[in-house]
Structure 1
């Protein structure tokens, strides 16, 4: 039988799903590690990206830092953690994956805020909005599509890369692939790869649905209230 056929047979065995350290348990731990990593990445990346994007400062430095940090391989970070007290705890892959997730969130959030139409921002300020109100009630809704794209990209990458946690004994679906290599059973290896790919695809679909839900298409509710004000501001006689 081919490796793919062996993988189908292995996946169709209910015991492989329900036993201790089976597919369901490993998938749950895989998602837990991924969710913790994304939570840390969002806490670290979103506030400075929103603030700098709103202020329009340090864009080159921020994007350069984002590009440099993308060049740091997750496997290298895990290897470093292997010789530290964190090496075989859940926090080693969580921190490594968080570092991996920060760049796309950081870059997309900053660019999303900077690409908001400056005329709309000026109209909001002319209405008497404070800087905080402009950021949260004007810029954020308009930047949200790009922000969600960064979050979605980071989440899919994290779910796929969390497989490497198995190298440090982490309970992710990478353990299935590691077990297959250990047994020299390539059907199990293919089964593990299919499970990781399916989980990454499911993550993409769920976050795409969330993105559509929180970023309704045009016309946006905010714009009709701003455009008349913009016309009024433009019509004011020069002082």
Structure 2
């Protein structure tokens, strides 16, 4: 039991220690008036909440789009669409993140929703691809056995294919979440909010403490989201896998 959870416990402990180290550094640093205002607890909390809202909303939209689409593309009637759909998804992730964010903002306006849409385009590929890979890797003999027992195609999908594909699918979701946390820092360029404001403020005003704090908070938030994803993977993994 401990062996399976050991890595997760160590990762969480490392994140907590890093957060404490950052807190001690901020409390003992010689901060200017601007830095004190920018790094006030209420301000940091507000930026973090905005960052999480942006990330989680984009993640929810990605899941609603990518998982059903991935399932549909593994069904025989729609397999011919696999190549063009993956090509479009690949374009969304292959394009520079800043370019995607700015171009969409010029199209739909500089706002929270423009940032959300750009994040969705950027993170849809891992979930879509892993959903398809997970379903394609299910042993065809198990699927045939289910059909031989009189189960419908839908029943086989939900009772045989999806449970066995869960580990691979969750890996894609975790990858997408980490991508979203990091890329959401760019939302500040189009008035999307989030922790990116600390990074841009630090760069524009040459405030190293603000810059480093923003970068570390984004990194720690990504590590925390990754930890949560690993916990979900561990709990949801079918027994025996």
> How far apart, CA to CA, are the structure 2 residues paired with 1:87 and 1:8?
40
Change (3 A) 1:6 1:212: closer
Report which of the two structures shows the higher radius of gyration computed on alpha carbons.
1
- Confirm or deny: 8 A CA contact 2:105 2:115 kept in the other structure: no
- 1 CA distance for matches of 2:162 and 2:22? 49
Structure 2 runs not aligned, ≥5 long: 1-20, 30-35
In 1, distance between residues paired with 2:60 and 2:22?
A: 37
Correspondence 1:164 to 2:186: yes
TM-score, normalised with respect to structure 1: 0.81
Q: How many Å apart are 1:89 and its aligned residue?
A: 1.7
Name the SS of the counterpart of 1:51 in structure 2: helix
Deviations 1:88-113 (A, max 9, x none): 22101100000011111111101110
- Confirm or deny: 8 A CA contact 2:73 2:132 kept in the other structure: yes
Alignment partner, residue 66 of structure 1: 89
- 1:206 matched to 2:222? The reply is no
Which structure has more helix as a fraction of its residues?
A: 2
Q: Residue 151 of structure 2 corresponds to which residue in structure 1? A: 129
Following TM superposition, by how much is the alpha carbon of 1:67 offset from its aligned partner in structure 2, in angstroms? Answer: 2.6
Q: In terms of mean alpha carbon deviation, does 124-133 or 177-186 score higher?
A: 177-186
Distance 1:176 1:70 in 2: 25
Aligned residues: 212
Q: 1:103 aligns with which of 96, 109, 125?
A: 125
Distance across 2 between alignment mates of 1:83 and 1:184:
28
Which string of whole-angstrom CA distances, capped at 9 and with x for unpartnered residues, describes residues 116-159 of structure 1?
Answer: 00000000100111000011110000001111011100010001
2:93 paired with 1:77: no
Distance change >3 Å, CA 6–CA 195, structure 1 → 2: closer
CA 1:166/1:29 → structure 2, altered by over 3 Å: closer, same or farther?
same
Contact (CA 8 Å) 1:177, 1:189: kept in 2 or not? yes
Question: What do residues 14-60 of structure 1 show as CA deviations (whole Å, max 9, x unaligned)?
Answer: 973433xx111100010000111111111111112112224382344
Name the structure 2 match of 1:174. Answer: 196
CA distance in 1, matches of 2:134, 2:154: 17
> Normalization by structure 2: what TM-score?
0.80
When structure 1 is superposed on structure 2, of 33-42 and 54-63 the one drifting more is: 54-63
2, 12, 18: which is aligned to 2:41? 18
Instruction: Specify which of 15, 27, 47 is matched with residue 48 of structure 2.
Output: 27
Q: Which runs of 5+ in 1 are unaligned?
A: 220-239
Is the alpha carbon distance of 1:179 and 1:81 closer, same or farther for their aligned partners in structure 2, counting shifts above 3 Å?
same
Deviation at 1:170, TM superposition (A): 2.5
